Each structure stands twice: as structure tokens, then as C-alpha cells.
Structure 1
Amino acid sequence: MIELKSKIAQFEFENPLMNASGVWCENAEKLDEMKNSSSGSFVTKSATPQLREGNPSPRYVEVPLGSINSMGLPNLGFDFYLNYSLKFQEENPGKINFLSIAGMSMEDNLEMLHKLNDSDFKGLTELNLSCPNVPGKPQIGYDFEATEKILEKAFEFFKKPLGVKLPPYFDFAHFDEMAEILNQFPLAYVNCINSVGNGLYIDTENESVVIKPKDGFGGIGGAYVKPTALANVRAFYTRLNKNIKIIGCGGVESGKDVFEHLLCGAEMVQIGTHLARNGVQVFDKILTELSEIMNQKGYNSIDEFRGKLKSL
């Protein structure tokens, strides 16, 4: 019997799969489909304090090896996702979800964290430090000082399990510096990675960009980003305190991709572009493929190989 269970903080999940925030989670209909899928858990759309329309369309386009998007954080507002999560927990005792927040300012984020801390929400909170697609707003995750400051302020009062979603890093010095900051705090997990920011995809026939916001610049997802995602998972797995778990995200389309994320050290693995393209049935197929790989290799549980990537 193949054991696929994963654990973050005090929570155990039937399997390591879930959606990436921003995919299949913006409204009640999509969240219901996630809730009823075979995924181990789900995360809500990154919320701002109030409803946001986001950037003008076209703002998400599928391209041959993945996707490009500049969504601009469209969401139904923090209260909607909190209320949905509370109802989910009430109707499904013992199960929890992840609630993602991404304020336009530090004050926004702290305001939402205060509300969560004072609420009956029993799940995991994700502080998104890495939204690359809001015009005029830099990613907090690339400002090490700002990242440290918001975590200091958050942990002065926040008593529930908290994780952070990070942008991709590309330099060993940045892995080292960010890990040093994160290790100061009792984080439940870090999520690597958000999309690779400010890529450009060109329609050669029309000699134009393919998305409207930001003159066509947008976050790149899908197979394009898997090597970068795996590198970030591995880099943080080898640098962070072992009680800080890793959620891997980027380029997952098959059981093999999940196996690679787990081998690099991920505790759970999120699916974004592939889920957006194919719907929630991808979880069944990918879980079957993962089980087959484990069976072929003689592994009975994920813990037998998680993080055990070999160097040459």
C-alpha cells in the first residue's frame, strides 16, 4: 500500500497535491470543485482587504510551454475567502485549507492577519510576498529588509500557523540572505515559487505582445519554470530549519514532476498552469502516476525519499 500522506505544522493531508493560489480558487464554484477533488488540500485566491477587479484583459494566455499572466490580483475580497473557509471547516470537521492574503501595503497585510488571528479560522495562512503583476507595486520578497520587517510585526501578535509565498531567487547569496531572515521566525512553511516575473511572449504573426497589462510583461508559469522552481525548493530545503516545511510550485504536469519536487525536499506540491488548462481531474491522473513511480522504485511512503536528492 503506497502511503502519500504529508504534514505541515500540526496538520496531516491525505496526499501532497493542491492548487496554486490564483488557479481554480477565485470564486465559490471553483473552490467547491477543489474541495470535492482528490487533491490533498486547497488554497484560496490571494485576497486583498476589499474586492479587486484586477488588470484589463487579455491578462492570462496559454503559450506552448506554459502561460503568461498579469492578473493584477483580481479577487472577491478577504471577507469572502475567510467566510468560505470557516464554512468549509464547519462542514468538514478535521479538514483544513490554506487562506492566502496579499495586501497592497504592509498595513493591509497586518490588518488581514489581525482579523484572521481573532477569527475561528483553524487552517494555514499564506502571506503572499511575491505578486509580480500589480503595476507600480514591487514584490516584497525581493526587498529583504521589508520582508524581515513585516514578519517581525506579524509575529508580534499572530499565533496561528503562517507560511509565506516567495518569488523565485536566482543567486546563492539571495538564497542565503532570505533563509537567514526566514529562520528567525516560527514559520510553518515557505512556498517556492510564484511565477517568474516580467517575462514577455510575442505573437510573431501580429508582431505584438499577447497580454494587455504592463505592455505585455507578465509572470511566466508552466514547464518554462520547473528548473527554477526545483532549484528554489532545493535551496531552501537545505538552508531552512527543518520545522519550516517547503511547498513546491512550478511546472507540475505529471507524477514525475511531483516526484522531483518531493525529491528536492517539498512537503506538498501545487499545480497552477496545468490545472488552469485541464481542470481538477488532473489530480487523479497525477496521483496515479506518482504512486506508479514510487511502486517501481520500491518506496512505500514519501518520507522514504523526500529531500534525498543525490549530488554528483
Structure 2
Amino acid sequence: MVSTATRIGDFQFDNCLMNAAGVFCMTREELAQVESSAAGSFVTKTATLEARAGNPEPRYVNTDLGSINSMGLPNKGLDYYLDYVIEEQNRIGSKPHVLSLVGMSPDETHTILKKVQASDYQGLVELNLSCPNVPGKPQIAYDFETTDTILKEVFSYYTKPLGIKLPPYFDIVHFDQAAAIFNKYPLVFVNCVNSIGNGLVIEDETVVIKPKNGFGGLGGDYIKPTALANVHAFYKRLNPSIQIIGTGGVKTGRDAFEHILCGASMVQLGTVLQKEGTEAFERITKELQTIMAEKGYETLDDFRGKLHYID
């Protein structure tokens, strides 16, 4: 019997597939659709302390090879999502969930996490370190000194299960430097990767999205090789207690298989979910199970991280 069940920290999931933050997660209704699908879990829209309208439209466009977006963190605010995940965790038959958060400043990050720490929520939290916070500064996770400082401060008071959402890294030394920082802290997971930032898609003679003169994050086929590289690089470098969620370019069971082969414990769907809807979870799960059966794998542990190299 082929099983796609998995675990992150102390949490058990019947299926390794879930949505990526930003897709099918803005409203309770969308989250409920993911909950009732074949997905093993849902992650909420990345919440800021207060609700945000986000960037002007058009800010998301599907392309032949994926998508481009500059959303600007539209969300309904921390309380909306925190209240919902607390309600859900108390519902009989509910799946474990992930609450995604980001502060617009370090102080706001601490305000948000202290509120979650004081709440009744007992599930996983994903702190998004792949959003720019300060004009003229890079994304937090590209600033290793700031990343180290924030994690040190967070873990001085935060005791619940916490993971981080990462941007893609492109240099081997950056994998080494980032992993050295992450290994200092009791992180439950890292999520690799957020979109590749500041791509540009043009139709005829015009950019396709309005914010930032058309510059936006790339998702879909564009980013799968980069996502796989980040998953595997961190799988090889992080403490075994820090698990990996693979995100980027998953639209088939084969794509999910490759993320797990590179070391992912769970796999998130983004662009394909936006294009196809929640039916994608069942389709990709069946495709993954077929591949596993053909190869004689009964569980994800049979092949997770066992990527072959050429001698």
C-alpha cells in the first residue's frame, strides 16, 4: 500500500501536498476548500499585523511557463487568520495547519509572534523572511546579520513550533552561511522557496503587471530547478531536526517526487493551484503514488533525500 503521509515536527499529515502561502488562502472560504480537498494541510495567507489591500491590479498574471506577481502582501490581518486556525484546531477531524506571518518591521514581527505565543494556537507557524522590509535593504533572508538577530530575539520568547519561508539562494557560500545560522536555532522547518524576485514578463511592448513597472516574482516552471537546488542544498546542510517544505514549480506527481527526492518532507502547490484549482491535489497525489508504486516505494521515507549523483 503506497502512502504519501508525512510529518513536520510533531505533526502528522495524511498527505504531503498542501497549498503555498498566497494561493487559495485569502479567505476562510478558500482555506475551507483546501481543507476539504485531498491536501494534507493548508497554510494561511501571509498575515501582517493589520489588514492590507496590497498593490494595484493587475498584480498577478499567468504565463505559459508559470506566473509573475507583485501582490504587495494583501491579507485580512493577523486576527482574521489566527482566530480561524484556532477554531479549526478545535474542530473534530481537522487537519494540522500552518499560520503564515510577516512583520513590516522587526518590531512588528515581534508584536505578531508574541500575540501568537500568548494565544491558544498550538499549530505550526511560518515566519516569512523573504519579503523586503526596509526600502533600500534586501529581503531579510539575504541579510544574514539581520536574520541571525531576528531569530535570536524571536527564540528568546517564542516556544511554539516555528519555521521560516526563504527566498531562493544562488551561491554555494550562501547556502553554507544561511545553514550555519539556521542550525543555531530550534526551527522545525524551512520552506524553500518563495518566488524568484524581480523577473520581467512582456507582451507585445508592455509589461504585464502594474506594480514596480512590471517587476515581479516568478513562479511555476521557471523556478523548479532553483527550488530543487535549494531544497537539496539545505537538506544536506541542516540539522536533521529541521525539516524542509519544498515549493516551486510543482505541477505533476513527477515534480513532487523530485522535491521529496531532494529532501522535502512536504510539498506546496502554488501556480498550478491558481490555474487548476483544488482538484490539483488529488491529481498530483495519484501521479505521485503511481511513480512510487512503479519504483517499489511504499513511503516517502523510502526515497526522501536519496538523490543520486554521477560518479
Range class of TM-score, shorter chain = over 0.9
Q: Secondary structure of 2:289's match?
A: helix
Name the aligned partner's letter for residue 89 of structure 1.
Q
Deviates more, 1:4-13 or 1:170-179: 4-13
Report if the CA contact (8 A) 1:56-1:213 is conserved.
yes
> Is 1:275 the equivalent of 2:280?
no
Q: C-alpha displacement at 1:40, in angstroms?
A: 0.6
TM-score by length of structure 2 reads 0.98
> Is 1:44 the equivalent of 2:44?
yes
CA offsets 1:56-108 (integer angstroms, 9 cap, x no match): 00000001100000000000000000001011111135632000001111111
Question: Equivalent residue for 1:253?
Answer: 251
User: Do the aligned partners of residues 94 and 282 (structure 1) sit closer, same or farther apart at CA in structure 2, a change above 3 Å counting?
Assistant: closer
Question: Equivalent residue for 2:154?
Answer: 154
Q: Secondary structure of 2:47's match?
A: coil
Name the aligned partner's letter for residue 6 of structure 2.
S
Q: Secondary structure of 2:301's match?
A: helix
Which aligned runs of 4 or more in structure 1 are off by greater than 4 angstroms?
A: 132-137
Aligned length: 310
Q: C-alpha displacement at 1:139, in angstroms?
A: 1.0
> Is 1:165 the equivalent of 2:171?
no
Question: Equivalent residue for 1:142?
Answer: 142
Q: CA RMSD in A?
A: 1.3
Q: Secondary structure of 2:237's match?
A: coil
- Distance, in Å, in 2 between the alignment partners of 1:273 and 1:136 is 29
Matches within 5 A, 1:232-311: 232-311=230-309
Name the aligned partner's letter for residue 268 of structure 1.
M
TM-score by length of structure 1 reads 0.97
Name the aligned partner's letter for residue 221 of structure 2.
A
- Distance, in Å, in 2 between the alignment partners of 1:243 and 1:91 is 29
Deviates more, 1:89-98 or 1:128-137: 128-137
User: Do the aligned partners of residues 194 and 285 (structure 1) sit closer, same or farther apart at CA in structure 2, a change above 3 Å counting?
Assistant: same
Question: Equivalent residue for 2:79?
Answer: 79
CA offsets 1:10-51 (integer angstroms, 9 cap, x no match): 111001100000100011111110111110111000000000
Q: Secondary structure of 2:90's match?
A: helix
- Distance, in Å, in 2 between the alignment partners of 1:95 and 1:231 is 29
- Distance, in Å, in 2 between the alignment partners of 1:107 and 1:136 is 18
| Paired-residue identity, % | 57
- Distance, in Å, in 2 between the alignment partners of 1:4 and 1:74 is 32
Report if the CA contact (8 A) 1:68-1:201 is conserved.
yes
> Is 1:117 the equivalent of 2:107?
no
Q: 1:219 aligns with which of 217, 220, 229?
A: 217
Question: Equivalent residue for 1:29?
Answer: 29
Report if the CA contact (8 A) 2:88-2:94 is conserved.
no
- Distance, in Å, in 1 between the alignment partners of 2:99 and 2:285 is 23
Question: Equivalent residue for 1:90?
Answer: 90
- Distance, in Å, in 1 between the alignment partners of 2:7 and 2:123 is 13
- Distance, in Å, in 1 between the alignment partners of 2:248 and 2:130 is 14
